[in-house]
Structure 1
Amino acid sequence: MKVRPRLLVISLVVAALASVAIGWAIARTGNTSGNGNGNDNGDTVIIDGTDGPLQPPSIETNAVVKGNPLPDVAVQTLDGTDVPLLSLVGQPMVINVWGSTCGPCKQELPDFAAAHLTFGDRVRFIGIDYLAPSDREEAFARDKGVQYELFYDTDGAFTNDVGIAAFPVTLFVNSDGIIVRQTGLLDEAAITEHIESDLL
């Protein structure tokens, strides 16, 4: 069968574009390993809003906010009530930003629960969930032993202001509302060490 040159050229162009699209999709879904620096692992959740080269999920993707005051934004309770974040300032505080779809977030929840029991009223622990408020999220955290306050970043104001792109994130905040340390995945020993060295 004779193929007209014009149709042949069009077919080749379409095939080339399809190959590029498939390769791009594979790159986005297949490149999910951590960078091996101890701050994250392959389950780290990353929000990819850039147009540049795709990078493995890394806590270094986040903005550096050490030394900054907490942003003047509101977080939400389970029933949707706004709570000004600055209204929670007044004592040393540990803010864990998490979500049940994030593997490392789920991994460290029991460690935060244990540390909270250890320090009691000396340090205020709060969790800020980047997912929408739901009974499921609340029950998930409670099932991991969490007894501290849980809030939600419903409109993304907190996450955006602090420059968070990869989770989990923990902020250690002094009684003046200044962020003195920011970290990725932690265990109970590391949480305790940071509280004792930076907050007490």
Structure 2
Amino acid sequence: METTPLPPEPSSDRSPAQRPSVSRTTIALVAVVSVLLAVGIVLTFRSGSDSASDVIKLDPDATEPFNGLTGGPDVVGQSVHGVTYPTFEGQQAPLHPGDLPVLINFWSSTCAPCITEMPALEAVHQAHAGEITIIGIDHLEVPELGLAMIERTGVTYPVGRDPKGILLRSLGGNALPFSVLVGSDGTILATHAGQLDAAGIEAFIAPALVD
């Protein structure tokens, strides 16, 4: 009859006194590894803190005036002469491009009131061609999202970008949509936070049309 041999007995060559020494060595190694891991975690947190500081440094002008504007909650009376904004084509364009009054409107594709307001702005743009310039500024978005919004709303007035949000802050804005009315001489006449319908836009720009 075939039998299956049993596994060999554990070797007894090692003396009982040697076994505890192996256990102590293992414990010591675990302790060393634990210390190294703890040091690594501390360094990681410190590195994360440095990274957070670097993010702030990426935008050194975040709290500085934009193109000579002093910023702040009340910008009425300041001039936008010489102030520019980046276009979607990567060029710089003036906020006051000629002798006409200007309505500057800040928007974003994630702003539901902006989506409703932009067609109303387009209607006013068509109704007052040659009387006032409307400029739409996409706030804090990659170009692809802004271009998709322009196509979605069908606006034809000039559009540009505020990729770091500096221009909005410098013009006193802290919410979207945000509109700035500039007179024919380049002086800021009024600002408005919140959505406007066509009638509201007409009332808002009226002081500039008789300027």
**TM-score (ref. length: structure 1):** 0.62
Q: Cα offset for 1:145?
A: 2.5
Structure 1 counterpart of 2:77, from 42, 64, 67 = 67
CA shift digits 1:29-64 (9 cap, x unpaired): xxxxxxxxxxxxxxxxxxxxxxxxxxxxxxxxx712
Question: In 1, Cα distance between the equivalents of 2:191 and 2:182?
Answer: 9
Question: In 2, Cα distance between the equivalents of 1:136 and 1:166?
Answer: 19
Tell me the residue number matched to 1:171: 180
Structure 1 residue 105 and structure 2 residue 136: aligned? no
Give aligned-pair identity as a percent: 33
Question: In 2, Cα distance between the equivalents of 1:71 and 1:131?
Answer: 23
Structure 2 counterpart of 1:154, from 163, 180, 186 = 163
Tell me the residue number matched to 1:143: 152
Question: In 2, Cα distance between the equivalents of 1:193 and 1:159?
Answer: 22
CA shift digits 1:168-192 (9 cap, x unpaired): 1111111111111111221100111
Q: Which aligned segments of 4 or more residues in structure 1 are displaced greater than 3 angstroms?
A: none
Tell me the residue number matched to 1:45: none
Question: In 1, Cα distance between the equivalents of 2:99 and 2:164?
Answer: 25
- Let me know the Cα RMSD of the aligned residues: 2.0
**TM-score (ref. length: structure 2):** 0.59
CA shift digits 1:58-116 (9 cap, x unpaired): xxxx7122222227443111122222435x24211111011111121112111101111
Tell me the residue number matched to 1:118: 127
The alignment covers a number of residue pairs equal to 138
Shift in CA distance, 196/160, structure 1 to aligned 2, threshold 3 Å: closer
Q: Cα offset for 1:122?
A: 1.3
Which AA in structure 1 matches 2:209?
Answer: L
Q: Work out which of the two has the higher radius of gyration on C-alpha atoms and give 1 or 2.
A: 2
**5+ long unaligned stretches in structure 1:** 1-61
